[in-house]
Amino acid sequence: MYGKKSLTVTLTNLSNNTVCLAPTAILCELKPVEVTAAVVDRLEEKVQDIKRKNIVKELSIDEDNILDSEQKQAFNDLLMKHRIIFSTSGTDIGNCNSIKHQKDLHDERPFKQRHKNSETQE
């Protein structure tokens, strides 16, 4: 036994027959559950993907009605295909592996700089 904690168990008899249980009958065994980091990461990725899909759906595309419906759909499909570039919160800076950047610095000493949010402040 892991500890002396009580647990209420509700049993349901789905048959028409009477079932008798001995007072000391073992009905089940409880074991601790371990959640691995990989499972948590996959769940987090799914949540982020759902958030990004919602961001793309909520975008106001072509408010001036310059594009026809085919062009709007093509643009929406393009945004949905590349939705990983959208950040879902202030701490998520987005991710894009399709473009490599090189920054030539005058002084190559490492430095820390706070992320600049691309949203406009009103």
| Range with lowest mean pLDDT among 18-22, 44-48, 114-118 | 114-118
Residue 91 lies in a domain: no
Q: pTM (2 decimals)?
A: 0.46
Residue 93 lies in a domain: no
Q: Which residues contact 87 (CB under 8 A, 6 or more apart)?
A: 93, 94
- The residue with greater pLDDT, 21 or 7, is 21
Q: How far apart are CA 24 and CA 35, in angstroms?
A: 32
- Note down the domain range covering 63: 37-85
Residue 74 lies in a domain: yes
Residue 1 lies in a domain: no
With a pLDDT cut of 70, the percent of the chain lying above it is: 87
Of 43, 37, 40, 46, the C-alpha closest to 84 is 46
62 touches 72 (CB < 8 A): yes
- pLDDT value of residue 120: 52
Residue 49 lies in a domain: yes
- pLDDT value of residue 62: 81
Report the domain count for the chain: 1
Question: In the block, which residue shows the tokens 């759909």?
Answer: 73
Residue 65 lies in a domain: yes
Q: How far apart are CA 82 and CA 56, in angstroms?
A: 10
Residue 21 lies in a domain: no
Residue 73 lies in a domain: yes
Of 12, 41, 9, the C-alpha closest to 25 is 9
